[in-house]
Amino acid sequence: MKLGTRYIILFIFFTTFLISSVILLKYASGYRYNFKKNIWQKTGVLILESNPKGADIFLNGELQKEKTPAKIMNLFPGNYSVKLQKSNSFDWQKKLTINPNLTTFTKDIILFKKNSTPALSLDQDIEYFKLFSNEKKIIYFIKDKTKLDLWFFNFETKEEKFLNSFAFTKINNFSFSPSEKNVLVEGNDNLGKTNYLILNLEKPEEIVFLNEFAPNIQNIKWDLKSDKILYGTTKIKNESALIQINLKDKKTIPIILSTTDILDYYFDKKFIYYLTLNLENKNVDLKSINLKTNLESKTIYELHIPLVHHSLDKKISENDFNSLIEIEKKITQLPLSSYFFISSSPTGILTILDKKNQLLYLISPQFKIQPETQKIILEAKDATWSKDQKKMLYYNDLELWICYLNQEKLKESYHELLGRWSQKISKAIWHPQENYIIISSDSIKAIEIDGRDQRNVTQLLESIPSAFVKTMADKPTGEKNLFFSSKNKILYFIKDKKLYEMKIY
């Protein structure tokens, strides 16, 4: 072989090596050559996860070899029309942007089941019900001539058990104790008198009648931690009082005394917030008291007073009473109306509902680190906080919203409209994964929270009869007429007083 030929071969070899090295380095760095644009481009990654798994993936109409869950590499930057498809499920589709050297995540996609048929789960004429926190059981009332019977039902075992009967014509409210071993029932007898009682769910024959502690007691609530402590409002002489009821010692103690009616109250760690009627200014005052002492301590138990006499014991001096609390503080004023605190609000945030005018107040009281009380007023008839308490679902008759909370600067919280509907929204709940909202109106729909491109809205059930179960209608935060059990795939709802279940994916 001639020397010149050798140089040519060597040159070709080195040139090929250099070009190959450049190409390999480009590929290793995430670059690909875009033949349509005739340029090298940094690529991105798309991650797709769905429930159920195994869905076909289409990008810009082309079927991909991968199925969900999938990590699709080396995609050129740009907008992609993404569609997931699985037999017997509704399609999911969305336009997603792929950015260079970045990963686009789309997780927790639910492919809802097509033509899902509700099945009768509980063949009882349910008047009122309450779901346990583990979402595996409920207790419910059914009408039996002149009384109401309380029953227990387990979703998993399908066990039904009779608990007790009550001579009530109406149930106003009922709630579980912190351990959920007891239930507080508020009901009206045939004379219209309101009675309060506590039923032990493990020994349902054991009943405690709370009216014996204070005949005119109202608005009774459980303590946040103890099954032996409750609170309620009553009258002491000519004053309205918030009292603590100790079931163990069978004693009571006044916590707050007010010259005007206490409309509602709420506990938030060391603070008690309460609403009082201000007839002089024709408004409602929101006030707070900072508790200095644990109300379950022995020191306070020594100050307990039986309230059957409706008077304060002379042994409790003004200094003794003030040693329990700091001077009350007026936070803000609200227009004259009917208000309720919504429980499970984030620490330091008060959620107050004006049911009459369908207004929702978010209030952040003034503290040392906050120069003034912050307040937001929203048009809403109900609201529910997420599990992490960082966002709130709220809605009125026709609109569905999410508030992304800015706890330090309440007024800078972000509000996102999920949609408007022509049919009245009767109830809206979080899906347990909190990536969808389930609403009931004339039908049941699932609304995707992911706001990139258009939201996927899936109709799960076409029509629902208007005869829904009573859900503590006098209370703004009554039990939901649709809910999930511990199995997230099963949606329960009540129509015509019957409990139905429906597998949605």
SS (H, E, C) 457-472: EEEEECCCCCCCCCCC
- CA–chain centroid gap for 51, Å, is 22
d(CA 297, CA 291): 12
Residues with Cβ within 8 Å of 41's Cβ and at least 6 positions away in sequence, in order, are: 31, 32, 33, 34, 76, 77, 100
Task: Tokens for 422, please give them.
Answer: 């022509």
Task: Tokens for 150, please give them.
Answer: 């309380």
Residue 365 · residue 288 · CB < 8 Å: yes
Residue 296 · residue 229 · CB < 8 Å: yes
Residue 338 · residue 355 · CB < 8 Å: yes
d(CA 154, CA 160): 7
Burial of 87 from C-beta contacts in 10 A (0-12 / 13-18 / 19+): exposed
Instruction: Count Cβ neighbours within 10 Å for each residue of 290-319 and write b for 16 or more, e otherwise.
Output: ebeeebeeeebeebbbebeeeebeeebeee
Q: What is the pTM of this model?
A: 0.83
Residues with Cβ within 8 Å of 110's Cβ and at least 6 positions away in sequence, in order, are: 50, 51, 92, 431, 433, 435, 436, 446, 504, 505
Per residue in 47-58, pLDDT tens? 999 999 999 999
Q: Is 490 helix (H, G, I), strand (E, B) or coil?
A: strand
Q: Which residues of the chain register pLDDT less than 50?
A: 293-326, 465-478
Give the phi and the psi of residue 483 in degrees, each rounded to 5. -165, 165
Q: Is 219 helix (H, G, I), strand (E, B) or coil?
A: strand
The pLDDT, as a whole number, for residue 214 is 80
Please say whether the structural domain 43-111 has been given the CATH code 3.30.1360.200: no
Task: Tokens for 151, please give them.
Answer: 């029953």
d(CA 437, CA 395): 11
Q: Which of 150, 237, 244 shows the shortest CA–CA distance to 201?
A: 150
Q: Name the β-bridge partners of 113.
A: 89
The pLDDT, as a whole number, for residue 166 is 93
Task: Tokens for 178, please give them.
Answer: 């912190």
Could you check whether the bond before residue 52 is cis, i.e. omega within 30 degrees of 0?
A: yes
Q: Which long-range contacts (CB under 8 A, 24 or more apart) does 32-38 make?
A: 32/74, 32/76, 34/76
Torsion of CA 70, 73, 77, 78, to 10 degrees: -30
Sheet holding 350-354, edge to edge: 339-341, 350-354, 359-364, 374-379
The pLDDT, as a whole number, for residue 21 is 56
The pLDDT, as a whole number, for residue 237 is 82
